[in-house]
Amino acid sequence: MKYIKVGAAALNQTPLDWKGNQINIIAAIKAARADKVCILCLPELCISGYGCEDAFLAPGTLAQSRRSLHEITKQTKNILVAVGLPLLYQNRIYNTVCLLANGKIAGFVAKRFLPSDGIHYEPRWFHKWPQEVYAEIDINGQRYPIGDIYFNCGGVRIGFEICEEAWVANRPGIKLAEKGVDIILNPSASHFAFDKHRVRERFVLEGSRAFSVSYVYTNLLGNEAGRAIYDGDAMIATGGQLLATCKRFSFANSQRVSALVDVDLTRMAQARTSDWQPKLESRIYIPFDYPYTPPSRNTVTQQLWDQSPTIKEEEFTRAVSLGLFDYLRKSHSQGFVVSLSGGADSSATACLVRLMVELGVAELGLEGFCAKINFQFLSSTTTITDIVQKLLLCVYQATENSSKTTQRAAATLAHNLGADYLELNINKLVKGYIDLVSYAIKQKLNWEEHDIALQNIQARARSPSVWLLANLRNALLLATSNRSEAAQGYATMDGDTSGGLSPLAGIDKDFLRQWLNWLEHEGPVQLAPIPALALVNQQTPTAELRPKEMQQTDEADLMPYSLLNVIEKAAIRDRQTPYEIFCLLRIKFREYNEEQLLIWIERFFNLWTRHQWKRERFAPSFHLDDESLDPKTWCRFPILSGSYAEELAEMKERVKQESKL
C-alpha cells in the first residue's frame, strides 16, 4: 500500500489584493505542511483573485501575479502545491494552474473549457487551451512546460480538472484516466447557488469512481468581489467514497481538509475496470520524495444544518450573512444603516445583520470577530448585542400614511435585535415638496390624478435622511428591495432602492416571507429564532404610501406573490411565451378565472419591459441562484423594447378562440 496525504484549502481572497492573497496562500501551505500533507490544492486564480474582470487585461495584473508566484514558490519546500494565476503566453492570456514542487515551478496547466454563461464571462479575458497540446513558456529566463499536461511527481501521476472542466460532458478526467493518472486536483472558483453543493459532491464522487482516482476539490470562500458568494466547498474522495469535506460559509480566512489516499488501491481499481490503452504523452516528470505515512482512518465531518430539511433557508441565512460580513470589511465600512419600515423586506435585512454577527462570533469569538472587521473590541464583558448596536442603525421614517402597526413592528424588532434605533417624522418634508411643486405648476396635487407621483415623493423623501446618517457613521446603507419587486419595477428609484448594497435583490418575495416565518418559529441550527418577527409576519405586505382609507397592499397593486414568482421564473428563467405561461397558470392556479390570469400576465410583461432601466440602477446584489435578474452579471435585457405586444395579443386571441370550442 502506498499512502499519501493530500489536502485542499478554501481561501477567502480579494481581487488585486496581492499582499492579502499571498498571506492567505502561504498560511495555508504552512498549515498543510505542519499537517504532513504532501499534495495541496488551492483555488482557481487565487493569486490574483477570480473576480478581477477587465483588470485581467492589464499588463500590471499579469506581472504582479508572476511576482507573487515567485514569492509563494519559495514556501513550497517538501510539498507539492497547485496554485492558480492568469498567464500571458504568445499574446494570449490563459487561466492556469501552476504546480509547485519542493521550491520550484514544475509547470502550468491551462484551462481548456471556459464558462460563458450566467455570471461567468471568462472568454472575454482568457483563451481556451487546445486539447493534447503543450509547449514551453519563458519566465525570467527559465523555460517551463505549459498546456494540456499532467505530472509524474516521484512516481505519482497528478492531473487537473479546473472548475468548469468537471461540469462538461467531455471532462478532461476521461483523458487523464486513459493516461493512468492517480490523483486529479480540481482548483475551482464556483459561486454559491442553492443546492449546488450536492451537484459538486456528485461529480467529485463520480469522478473518483469512474476514473479510479483520488479526487481533490477546492473552492474559493466568502464574498470575493462584491456579488458572488463562495461557500468554501472542499472535498476529497477515492473510488466513489467521500474521505473528507470542509465546513461551508466559514468566516475565517481559510478552511482546510486533508485525507490519506492509497495510490496502490486506485491503481488496482484501474487494472480491474479499465480497457484503455495507456497514453503517456504530455507527461512532465518531477522528482519528489514522499515520506512514509502510516495508514489511519479518515473522518468525514458533516455540518448539522447541511442535513436540515430546511436546507434552502439555512443556505440563504449563511450565504447572505457571510456576504454582508465580507462586504463590510472589504469596503472598509463601519456598520450598516437600514430604513426599517416594519415590513418584510427591511425587517429581513436587519435580521440578516444580527445573524451575521451571531454566526461570525460563534466561529471567530467576540474578539476575533471584532478584529477581522477592524472594530474596536470594547472589553471582556462585550456581548453580541453590544456589537450589533454599534454595527446596525435602524431608522423608522413616518408620514401621515404610516400606521401604528408598522411603527410598533419596527421598534419591537430593532429592540430585540439589539440595533440602534431612531424614529423620524418626515411628513413636513413630504408636504413641503408637494406644496412647492403645487405652487410652481399652479395646480393642487390629488390622489385621483397624481397617485404614483404622490407615492414616490414619500419614498424619496426618506432617502436623504438615511444617507446622511450612513455618512455620519461611515456606514453602508442597505437597500431593501427584493427580486419580485425588481421584476415589476415596484420600487421607487432613489427611495427604497437607495443604498450601496441590495442584499435581498437576488431573492423572491414569496420565499422571503417563508424565510421570515421560519426565522420567527425555528431559526438556523444552533441559533435561536427571532419571535419579535411575529408583528412583521402578521401583516399584509404594504408600501403604506397611499392614505390609510385606500387600504393599499402590495399584492393588490401587483398580483399574488406566489403567482408572480411562477410567472417570473417561466418568463425570465425559462423564456416561455405569454401563452405558454397562461397554460401553466391555468393548471397551477385553478382558483383564479382565466380573465384574471390574462390580466396578471399582461401586467407582468408590461411592467417587466417598462422597468429595465430600474434594474440597471439597482445597487449591487448577491447572486443566490439561477433566477437572478441582475443585468450586469446574469439577466441582460434591452432598456427599450417592443414590450411583447405581439406575443400578448397572440395569447389573448388564442385563449379567445379556445373559449369558443
**What pLDDT sits at residue 278?**
62
> How many C-beta neighbours within 10 Å does residue 530 have?
21
- Percent of the chain at pLDDT > 70 equals 98
Residues 309-332: what's their mean pLDDT? 97
Which helix H or strand E contains 417, and what residues bound it?
Answer: helix 404-417
Residues 521-539: what's their mean pLDDT? 96
What residue type is assigned to position 466 of the chain?
Answer: V
- Euclidean distance between CA atoms 499 and 463, whole angstroms: 9
- Cell numbers for 360: 461570525
Q: Residue 477: pLDDT above 70?
A: yes
| Bigger pLDDT: 555 vs 322 | 322
Residues in the chain: 661
Residues 440-452: what's their mean pLDDT? 94
Residues 617-624: what's their mean pLDDT? 95
Mention every residue, 6+ apart, whose C-beta is less than 8 A from residue 580: 570
**For residues 503 and 621, is the Cβ–Cβ distance under 8 A?**
yes
3-class DSSP state of 522: coil
The structure's pTM equals 0.95
- Cell numbers for 181: 493518472
Res. 280 pLDDT band, cuts 50 70 90: low
Superfamily name and number for 3-289: Carbon-nitrogen hydrolase (3.60.110.10)
**What pLDDT sits at residue 381?**
81
Residues 599-604: what's their mean pLDDT? 97
3-class DSSP state of 122: helix
**What pLDDT sits at residue 570?**
96
3-class DSSP state of 150: strand
Q: Residue 283: pLDDT above 90?
A: no
Q: How many CA atoms lie within 13 A of 127 on its CB side?
A: 11
Residues 277-290: what's their mean pLDDT? 79
Res. 275 pLDDT band, cuts 50 70 90: low
Residues 618-634: what's their mean pLDDT? 92
**What pLDDT sits at residue 465?**
96
Q: Cα–chain-centroid distance for residue 646?
A: 37
**What pLDDT sits at residue 475?**
98
Q: Residue 301: pLDDT above 80?
A: no
- Cell numbers for 420: 440602534
Q: Residue 1: pLDDT above 80?
A: no
Residues 312-321: what's their mean pLDDT? 98
The domain segmentation of the chain, as residue ranges, is 3-289, 306-551, 559-661
- Euclidean distance between CA atoms 216 and 218, whole angstroms: 7
Residues 610-618: what's their mean pLDDT? 95
- State how beta strands 221-223 and 214-218 pair: unpaired
Q: Which tens digits make up the pLDDT trace of 37-91?
A: 999 999 999 999 999 999 999 999 999 999 999 999 999 999 999 999 999 999 9
Q: Residue 373: pLDDT above 70?
A: yes
Average pLDDT, the chain: 94
Give exposure, 169-192, as e/b (b: 16+ Cβ within 10 Å): eebbbebbbebbbbbbbbbbbbbb
- Euclidean distance between CA atoms 249 and 129, whole angstroms: 32
Q: Phi/psi of residue 262, each to 5°?
A: -105, 105
Q: Residue 304: pLDDT above 90?
A: no
**What pLDDT sits at residue 549?**
86
**What pLDDT sits at residue 308?**
86
**What pLDDT sits at residue 266?**
92
Q: Which of 36, 32, 43, 27 is nearest to 252 (CA)?
A: 27
Residues 111-137: what's their mean pLDDT? 94
Q: In terms of CATH architecture, what is 306-551?
A: 3-Layer(aba) Sandwich (3.40)
Cell 387600504 -> residue:
551
| 120 secondary structure, DSSP code | -
Q: Residue 660: pLDDT above 90?
A: no
**What pLDDT sits at residue 122?**
97
**What pLDDT sits at residue 590?**
95
Residues 155-166: what's their mean pLDDT? 97
Tell the CATH topology of 559-661: Arc Repressor Mutant, subunit A (1.10.10)
Residues 458-472: what's their mean pLDDT? 96
**What pLDDT sits at residue 4?**
96
Residues 538-555: what's their mean pLDDT? 86
Residues 496-512: what's their mean pLDDT? 95
Res. 276 pLDDT band, cuts 50 70 90: low
Cell 390574462 -> residue:
598
